[in-house]
Amino acid sequence: YVVDKGNHRHFMEKEIYEQPEVVTHTLAHYIDFAKGEIRDGADKLDFAALDRLAISACGTAYYAGLIGKYWFERYARLPVEIDVASEFRYREMPLTGKMAALFVSQSGETADTLASLRYCKGEGVAIGAIVNVAESTIAREADAVFPTLAGPEIGVASTKAFTCQLAVLASLALAAAKARGTLTRAQESEMVQALVEGRRIFGEVLRSVQPRIERLSRELSQYKDVLYLGRGTNYPLALEGALKLKEISYIHAEGYAAGELKHGPIALIDEAMPVIVIAPHDKLFEKTASNMQEVAARGGRIILITDEKGARAVSLKTMETIILPQVADIVTPILYALPVQLIAYHTAVFMGTDVDQPRNLAKSVTVE
Ligand code: G6P
């Protein structure tokens, strides 16, 4: 694996553009594309026997885990508890024999995640780990390792590791659903097909949204605060979008569940705080659209990331609308991560920050 920037200005940009390939590579590890089914062995955790799953991680890996929670609960009917590892390790959660713990980490070395793993291990809980570095400490100490095949990630702000974590979590949620009998063969094949087809469009989507996002980012770089909103699996993505933007552009950003708008952030809405709304035209779209109306009514500027149907359904004037292809629900978090990453990247480039090495941040946090 040659680790250089190739034709890209930054590792982060290169890693964003590697996603079509590495997500495919990762999916192929868990899914038999030819047969259209989840491979045996994806369920090394004996999901059928569990009554609870605890997920814990830090930073971007935590937001991937949060999306995983929606999937395990929806598709496999498996209740999930999720914490940032620095809280999990100290919060004295009762651990029972019928639970397993899943840790998500790019580096496999993050101190709090590792400490949480050891805490669970000491209590006799089965441990799964989604890691990008196969020879890492977390990989070595887990009972079951689920690799992300993202290749080395150099940019401090995680991009390709995140979407590969989502690919693994989606596959594991489907494997768990299969094991628990909550997914028919037909549903399995439909969802697997959606993932297999979804990854084919990632490259084209990156290329097609790039010019528009560059334009938008030039504008965004003039602002001091940005709010991200989303519902369902787009809520963790809103959190991830805000994290990415603040990490590398140093613009203050917050992510909120769209339904929480009324419980706080609405007080801040004015023309000085753009609101990025992540809203594919899914079951929750109407709800999010009404939150957008509330923002517009207060003079807020909206950047809408949606699909054709969603764009047609809203009549209000946006600062920018980014239209993505319509995809199945299980694909949206991976697809919508792409424009979200590009917005952070291009805004940071306009700000002139050190994109790959943002101030005060480390790629791997091995101290508490
Ligand atoms: C640091 C990195 C983030 C990463 C987090 C967790 O904060 O800057 O990009 O998401 O650590 O790291 P891990 O290696 O455990 O995924």
342 vs 160: CA distance, rounded Å? 12
State the amino acid at position 17 in one-letter form.
Y
From ligand 1's centre to the CA of 161, what distance in Å? 10
Any bridge partners for residue 227, and if so which? 254, 275
What pLDDT does residue 44 have?
Answer: 86
For 253, how many CA atoms within 13 A lie in the half-sphere containing its CB?
A: 30
Ligand 1 pocket, 157 CB below 6 A? yes
From ligand 1's centre to the CA of 63, what distance in Å? 11
Ligand 1 pocket, 365 CB below 6 A? yes
Which helix (H) or strand (E) segment is 212 a member of?
helix 185-220
Query: Which of the 8 DSSP states describes residue 39?
Result: P
Q: What sign does the CA torsion over 136, 138, 142, 145 have?
A: negative
Hunting for tokens 């140093």 — which residue is that? 250
247 vs 181: CA distance, rounded Å? 41
Known catalytic residues? 363
Ligand 1 pocket, 61 CB below 6 A? yes
Quickly count: other Cβ atoms within 10 Å of residue 252's Cβ.
Answer: 14
CA distances from 20 to 121, 282, 305, 357 (A): 35, 23, 20, 24
Any bridge partners for residue 52, and if so which? 99
From ligand 1's centre to the CA of 345, what distance in Å? 17
For 322, how many CA atoms within 13 A lie in the half-sphere containing its CB?
A: 29
151 vs 114: CA distance, rounded Å? 21
Strands 126-131 and 99-105 turn out to be parallel
Any bridge partners for residue 307, and if so which? 324
Structure tokens at 356: 């790959």
What pLDDT does residue 1 have?
Answer: 55
What pLDDT does residue 362 have?
Answer: 86
Q: How many residues does the chain have?
A: 368
Q: How much is the pTM?
A: 0.97
State the amino acid at position 15 in one-letter form.
E
Q: What is the pLDDT along the chain (368 residues), one digit of tens a residue?
A: 557 898 999 999 999 999 999 999 999 999 999 999 999 887 789 999 999 999 999 999 999 999 999 999 999 999 999 999 999 988 888 888 799 999 999 999 999 999 999 999 999 999 999 999 999 999 999 999 999 999 999 998 999 999 999 999 999 999 999 999 999 999 999 999 999 999 999 999 999 999 999 999 999 999 999 999 999 999 999 999 999 999 999 999 999 999 999 999 998 999 999 999 999 999 999 999 999 999 999 999 999 999 999 999 998 999 999 999 999 999 999 999 999 999 999 999 999 998 988 988 988 888 88
Structure tokens at 46: 């004996």
Structure tokens at 268: 């801040």
What pLDDT does residue 367 have?
Answer: 82
Ligand 1 pocket, 59 CB below 6 A? yes
List of residues 6+ apart from 221 with CB closer than 8 A: 249, 251, 347, 350, 351
| Closest by CA position to 17, among listed 151, 141, 125 | 151
Q: Closest Cα to atom 5, ligand 1: which residue?
A: 59
255 vs 264: CA distance, rounded Å? 12
Ligand 1 pocket, 117 CB below 6 A? no
List of residues 6+ apart from 357 with CB closer than 8 A: 156
What number does the ligand 1 atom closest to the CA of 107 have?
14
Question: Cβ(183)–Cβ(75) under 8 Å?
Answer: yes
Q: Closest Cα to atom 7, ligand 1: which residue?
A: 59
> Which of 11, 166, 363, 368 maximizes ligand 1 atoms within 8 Å of its Cβ, making it the mutation to test the pocket?
363
> Which of 60, 165, 345 maximizes ligand 1 atoms within 8 Å of its Cβ, making it the mutation to test the pocket?
60
What pLDDT does residue 47 have?
Answer: 96
